[in-house]
Amino acid sequence: MAALILLGFWLGRQAEQAHLISLETNEAQYQDLVLSNSKALPVSAQQPAHSELISASVVIASDAFKNFLATLISILGGRIDVYEALRERARREALLRLRAAAAARGAQCVINVRIETHDISLSSVEAFAYGTALRYHTPGV
């Protein structure tokens, strides 16, 4: 039983680390695309040529070890913190997908960005991000 728990810990840790590395790599790819939770246009911005509502979502499930640990904590009592990292990864992935959707549409920024999170089950969480993608006139076109 202990070997199974340790295997669950190791496999879950490997998957989480691989996802975090992937997030960092992909976030760097879209770092020039501005996200803002403000409803207003950026001060220096001209009138956009096109605006469009875009959205992105992701569902991420917890690994077996974290489920075991959360069950143990709920039996013994106390705050279940093991799902906070899961929620943060889901939020980052949803924002990354939102940036990718905006870039695919040729947008330079996304304003009025909102993120909703929902617990789908005891061991999985959904993050849904949406905002208004703005594309400006390109000089010389």
Q: Check pLDDT > 70 for residue 75.
A: yes
Query: At 46, which helix (H) or strand (E)?
Result: none
Tens digit of pLDDT for each residue in 9-67?
788 888 888 988 999 998 899 988 989 998 887 756 677 888 999 999 999 988 878 88
Measured CA to CA, the distance from residue 110 to residue 93 in angstroms comes to: 16
Tokens of 106: 């040729």
Q: What is the pTM of this model?
A: 0.83
- The CB-side HSE value for 59 (13 A sphere, CA atoms) comes to 7
Domains in the chain (CATH in brackets) are 2-135 (3.30.110.70)
Under 8 Å between Cβ of 1 and 64: no
Alpha-helical (H) ranges within 1-141 are 2-29, 64-76, 84-104
Q: Check pLDDT > 90 for residue 78.
A: no
- At 96 the pLDDT is 96
Measured CA to CA, the distance from residue 30 to residue 128 in angstroms comes to: 18
